[in-house]
Amino acid sequence: MTSNNNTTTTTTDSSSASKKTPKKTNLLDPNSIKHLLDETVTEIVTSRGYKEDVRLSNVKLLIGSIIIIIALIAQFYPKKFPQNKDVLIGCIILYIIFNILLQVIIHTKEKNAILFTHPPAGSFKSTGLVVSSKLPKFSDMYTLSISSSDTKSICAGKPVQLTKSVTQWFTKDGILAEGLFWKDVNGLINKYTGESNKSKLLQHT
C-alpha cells in the first residue's frame, strides 16, 4: 500500500509540473524579454527567503499620488481665471518640485534596480539585497547584478554580476528555459552570499 501511495504522489507531482504554463515572450521585443527575465529573477530571489522591501516603491506611489492631486486641484478649482491665478501658480510650482523629487529618487536610489529586499528572516549575518538588471538597446546581453542594500554594514557582501546572452535562456519560439535561468541566478546568489566558496572548502576538507 505504501508503495502505491508513493507512486501516486510521484505521478501527481510530475503531472502538475508538466501542466505548468511555460513562460513565453516576443524575442523581437527587448522590453518584453527584460520584463519576463526580471519577473523571474524576483521569483527566484524571494524563493530564497528574501522578502521584498517595498518602502521605496511606497514613497514613489505617495509622491505620484500627490502629483495627481495637485493636477486635479489645478483642473477643478471652483474659481475661473484670473481669480484662480495664485492657485494655478502654486500648483505649477508644486507639480514641478514633486516631479523633480520623483526623478531624483529614480536616478539616485532606484537606478537599474528591479528588486530591494529585507535580510532573510532570522539572519544576523547578512543585509538586504539590491538586485539590478540591464538589457541595452540593440543588444542581446542581459546583465544581472546583486549588491547589498546597506553598503556601510560590516555584513555587506561584495557586489557580483552576471552577463549572458538572452539567447542562452530562450528557445527559438521565445519560451524561457527556466531550469537554466534558475541555475544561473541561484549561482549568482550563492556567489554573493559565499555559499559556493563554503561548499568548495567543505569538499577540500
3-state secondary structure of 202: helix
Taking the CA atoms of residue 189, residue 190, residue 193 and residue 194 in that order, the dihedral angle to the nearest 10 degrees is -150
State the DSSP string of 20-35. Answer: SPPPB--TT-HHHHHH
Write the pLDDT tens digit of every residue in 119-149. Answer: 887 766 677 899 999 999 889 999 999 998 8
Grid cell, residue 122, equals 532570522
Grid cell, residue 138, equals 540593440
CATH number, span 25-53+117-197: 3.30.160
The domains of the chain are located at 25-53+117-197, 55-111
The answer to whether 160 and 146 are in contact (CB under 8 A) is yes
**Is the entire prediction scored with pTM above 0.85?**
no
Confidence of residue 21 (pLDDT cuts 50, 70, 90): confident
The better pLDDT of the pair 21, 101 is held by 101
Write the pLDDT tens digit of every residue in 7-20. Answer: 443 344 334 334 57
**C-alpha separations of 88 from 62, 71, 97 in Å:** 22, 9, 14
Distance separating alpha carbons of residues 134 and 142, to the nearest angstrom: 6
